[in-house]
Amino acid sequence: MRQKILYVNACFREGSRTADLVQLMKERLFGEGEVTEVSLGDLELKPMDRQMLKVYNESVASHVFEDPMFLYARQFREADRVVIAAPFWNYDLPAVLHTYLELVCTQGITFDINEKGVYGSLCRAES
């Protein structure tokens, strides 16, 4: 069975050296896998606000994740391998990648907490 590879592309600047490196290493990074690309420069992601946090908390409490904001967490959980390509801007990662990761880190989808308070991954990809 082909591996499911999630390619999170945070390289949207014209002439990105990081994007060029991914292209050079494409075979090694992706192999023969089934690649799903999430191009962060094409999405209209916004940081969690009060209303989103309310939906998030209600969804986690009920374990019902129907809101579209949970798409990225589900994709991340189902991937056998995750490749994140991101440039280093002003001593940090692009803000849109932080926003994406905030949506990915969803209790009940990508991680959970057991009765002892220990966090555990629910993702298929190896760390």
- Segments making up each domain of the chain, as ranges: 4-121
What is d(CA 44, CA 54) in angstroms, rounded to the nearest whole number?
20
Prediction pTM value: 0.89
Could you tell me the pLDDT band of residue 127, with boundaries at 50, 70 and 90? low
> Where do we find the tokens 């990105």?
16
Pairing of strands 111-113, 119-121: antiparallel
- Per-residue pLDDT reduced to its tens digit, 41-52: 999 999 999 999
Tokens of 8: 């999170």
Q: What does CATH list as the number for 4-121?
A: 3.40.50.360
- Per-residue pLDDT reduced to its tens digit, 89-114: 888 889 999 999 999 999 999 999 99
What is d(CA 89, CA 127) in angstroms, rounded to the nearest whole number?
25
- Per-residue pLDDT reduced to its tens digit, 44-84: 999 999 999 999 999 999 999 999 999 999 999 999 999 99
Q: Residue 116 class from Cβ within 10 Å (0-12 exposed, 13-18 middle, 19+ buried)?
A: exposed
Of the candidates 93, 112, 121, the one whose C-alpha atom is nearest the C-alpha of residue 8 is 93
Q: For the sheet with 4-9, list strands across it.
A: 34-39, 4-9, 81-85
